[in-house]
Amino acid sequence: MKHRIVVVGAGFAGLQLVQDLRGLDCQITLIDQRNHHLFQPLLYQVATTLLSTSEIAWPIRRVLRERKEVTTLLSTVEGVDRPAREVVLRGGQRIGYDTLVLATGARHAYFGKDQWEADAPGLKTLEDATTIRRRLLLAFERAELAADETGRQAHLTFAVIGAGPTGVELVGIIAELAHRILPQEFRHIDTRKARVMLIEAGPRILPAFSETQSDYAKSALEGRGVEVHTGTPVTDVSAKGIVLGDQPIAARTVIWAAGVQASRAKDWLGAEADRAGRVMVTPTLTLPDDPQIFVLGDTAHVESDGKPVPGVAPAAKQQGSHAARTIRARLLDRPEPGPFRYRHMGNLATIGRNAAVIEYGSFKLRGWLAWWVWGIAHIYFLIGARSRLMVALSWLWIFLSGQNSARLITQKETLKDG
């Protein structure tokens, strides 16, 4: 019987691993809750009407259709039976493994305030993106219908909590929607009066960047009409809005970009984890007590050169490749590669039309050139010729016409407070 490799999660780590195992004589089962691989770094553009869902997601089966040794299953994993060496699916079905790879990602973390999630959704899946898009667009619609000025202003107040790249990128486009794209289209409201807030508990935005880049980003956002609040934590979130320190702010649209929590893999394994729920792994990326179980990407706590590896796409892909090399070496009875070492690919974030920041070691770039470099880099990393072409055309269209294209409110929702 062939060596059975079960991979759970078709994100950057899991898919990279399967792709790097090409040609190896084995049997691979790839399990994911969704039928698509998602290019998460552009998810905020779906949430803010720049791209449509099919431009950043691809059916996993289609990507792997020529790999006859790979079976793709759309299913939800409920646990791992380590003594039996089986993965347990919802419905009770069991899939046996010789090697198990868990790359199940992360969700938003509300630091113990899970009740905030309903009013401050985060952004990790395509559904999250269309939910946020619907809320953003409905806020303007409800403001147009609002009977009084107080209600109108609450609908026109947008708060993004957390000023990492996702928060900065989201707030930049929201400001653009309000100040540049939508004003012409409403008759009862002036969307330019919308209050667009970026809130960060720490001392500065984009903390992973150097201070000069972070200062540039702040003033670029402010120049685009964003209120940047740093050093003050959000102490409450409700349907009415947020409390910033001790100051209540009526805001009907709140988006959470402040933190992540690893998936439940640690519970399935009964493994040791860090505070964010990430499974502690060896430098080989396996469990300390079972070298046949790999944990990769956002769901693993990996160290490289004594520092924890960040939860970004390039890190996940590098881990997928490293684990694939290890598995291949073992099956072919060759020496295993050394410990995993993270190669930092730099930090990138867009701020809005013609503005971005890029940092790679001591190399720093900002402004319009950084924005173009950022765009070209992202198109290059998209999977598939068609997506590259369509995303490039969408962006070109938006750049030339100044109009976003995916401004659809779908999924029904009662206009509860409209």
What sign does the CA torsion over 41, 44, 50, 51 have?
A: positive
CB 171 within 8 A of CB 251: no
Structure tokens, 297: 């990407």
Question: Does residue 158 contact residue 194 with C-beta atoms inside 8 Å?
Answer: yes
> Following DSSP, what letter does each residue of 304-327 receive, concatenated?
ETTEEPPSSHHHHHHHHHHHHHHH
Q: Alpha-carbon torsion 202, 205, 209, 212, what sign?
A: negative
Give min distance, CB of 63 to its own copies, in A.
10
φ/ψ of 66, rounded to 5, equals -90, -5
- Binding of its own copies by 15 (CB under 8 A): no
Near its own copies by CB under 8 A: residue from 23, 25, 147, 305:
147
Question: Nearer to its own copies by C-beta: 89 or 365?
Answer: 89
Q: How far is the CB of 143 from its own copies (least distance, A)?
A: 11
Interface positions, 80-139, toward its own copies (CB under 8 A) = 90-91, 93, 126-127, 130, 137-138
Return the DSSP state at 3.
P
> Smaller CB distance to its own copies: residue 42 or 281?
42
Distance of alpha carbon 355 from alpha carbon 371, whole angstroms: 5
Q: Establish how many alpha carbons lie within 13 A of residue 341's alpha carbon, considering only the half-sphere containing its beta carbon.
A: 5
418 binds its own copies (CB under 8 A): yes
> Identity (one letter) of the amino acid at 60?
I
Q: Which of 19, 24, 59, 392 binds its own copies (CB under 8 A)?
A: 59
Residues 47, 166: Cα–Cα separation, whole Å: 11
Query: Quick one: which of 3, 4, 61, 344 contacts its own copies (CB under 8 A)?
Result: 61
SS3 184: helix
- Of 34-42, 216-224, 230-238, 317-325, the segment contacting its own copies by CB under 8 A is 34-42
Q: Yes or no: say if 202 and 167 are a contact pair by the CB < 8 Å rule.
A: no
Q: Give the residue from 7, 108, 129, 107 showing the smallest Cα distance to 56.
A: 129
Q: Please, are residues 60 and 36 in contact by the beta-carbon 8 Å criterion?
A: yes
Q: Among residues 169, 176, 200, 359, which one is catalytic?
A: 169
Min separation Cβ 398 and its own copies, Å: 9
Residue selected from 34, 204, 353, 364 as contacting its own copies according to rule CB under 8 A = 34
Shortest distance, CB of residue 385 to its own copies, whole angstroms?
A: 9
Closer residue to its own copies (CB): 69 or 227: 69
Per CB under 8 A, 48 contacts its own copies: no
Taking CB under 8 A as the rule, does residue 24 contact its own copies? Answer: no
Whether 169 is catalytic: yes
Stretch near its own copies under the rule CB under 8 A, chosen from 250-258, 275-283, 374-382, 392-400:
392-400
CA distance 219 to 172: 12
- The answer to whether 254 and 161 have CB atoms below 8 angstroms apart is yes
Of 81, 185, 222, 274, the residue at the interface with its own copies (CB under 8 A) is 185
Answer for the pair 31, 75: CB distance below 8 angstroms, yes or no: yes
Closest to its own copies by CB, 154 vs 293, is 154
Q: Measured from the CB of residue 72, what is the shortest distance to its own copies in angstroms? A: 8
Member of 19, 35, 284, 354 binding its own copies (CB under 8 A): 35
DSSP 260: E
In the complex, the smallest distance separating the C-beta of residue 255 from its own copies, rounded to whole angstroms, is: 19
Q: Which is nearer to its own copies, 61 or 364 (CB)?
A: 61
- Please answer whether residues 50 and 62 qualify as being in contact, where contact means their C-beta atoms are separated by less than 8 angstroms: no
Q: Which residues bind its own copies (CB under 8 A)?
A: 34-36, 52-55, 57, 59, 61-62, 64-66, 68, 70-76, 90-91, 93, 126-127, 130, 137-138, 141, 144-145, 147, 182, 184-188, 386, 389-390, 393-394, 397, 401, 403, 405-412, 415, 418
For the annotated catalytic residues, the residue numbers are 169
